């Protein structure tokens, strides 16, 4: 089996000149790449005491659900505004161009639960920061954030100072 980095397709000058787009779909489309990515992310949770896995729509679902299944933990989705049917807590946060709003069911995370966040990519850290605020607003405690890929040049970890953040692949640039 080849290293996980070799499953990631890198597309230069997308979406704009000077940017290298790291395409997770190439990992998902390869059975070995998918298995390896999930296994490597799950390894980051060895020794971590937690109660529930939370993942954002949509790629957080792809990686978070099999890890939750393997570890016999519940999975809680965070979705875009208007997609969850019950009472929700929501947060609006800044994107590079505009804003976004995400939601979680108010009863999805219980007071004192220890939460792991799973996602495919950390760039500026804005989505992760918003998820942490939602979870903590419900009384949960975020004990770890795990991503498959991290764009270190965008300094997302700065927004998550004080939290345990881990990534399988760390790219130095943007």
Measure the CA angle with vertex 164, ends 169 and 42; round to 5°. 55
CA distance 148 to 168: 5
Decide if 96 is catalytic: yes
Decide if 79 is catalytic: no
**What is the token pair recorded at 88?**
């929700």
Helix residue spans in 72-168 (DSSP H): 126-137, 156-159
Q: What angle do the packed helices 31-43 and 59-71 form, to 10 degrees?
A: 60
β-pair type (165-171, 114-122): unpaired
CA distance 156 to 58: 19
Of the residues 32, 35, 43, 96, which is catalytic?
96
Of the residues 59, 129, 150, 159, which is catalytic?
59
Active-site residues: which are they? 59, 96
């Amino acid at each position: 089996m080849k290293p996980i980095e070799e499953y990631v397709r890198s597309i230069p000058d997308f979406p704009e000149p000077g940017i290298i787009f790291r395409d997770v779909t190439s990992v998902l489309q390869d059975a070995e790449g998918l298995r390896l990515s999930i296994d490597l992310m799950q390894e980051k949770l060895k020794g971590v005491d937690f109660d529930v896995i939370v993942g954002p729509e949509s790629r957080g679902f792809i990686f978070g659900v099999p890890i939750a299944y393997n570890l016999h933990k519940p999975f809680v989705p965070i979705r875009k505004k208007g997609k969850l049917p019950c009472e929700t807590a929501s947060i609006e946060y800044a994107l590079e161009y505009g804003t976004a709003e995400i939601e979680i069911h108010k009863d999805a995370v219980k007071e004192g639960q220890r939460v792991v966040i799973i996602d495919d990519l950390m760039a500026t850290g804005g989505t992760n920061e918003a998820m942490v605020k939602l979870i903590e607003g419900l009384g949960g405690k975020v004990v770890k954030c795990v991503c498959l890929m991290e764009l270190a040049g965008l300094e997302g970890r700065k927004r998550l100072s004080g939290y345990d953040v881990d990534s399988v692949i760390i790219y130095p640039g943007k």
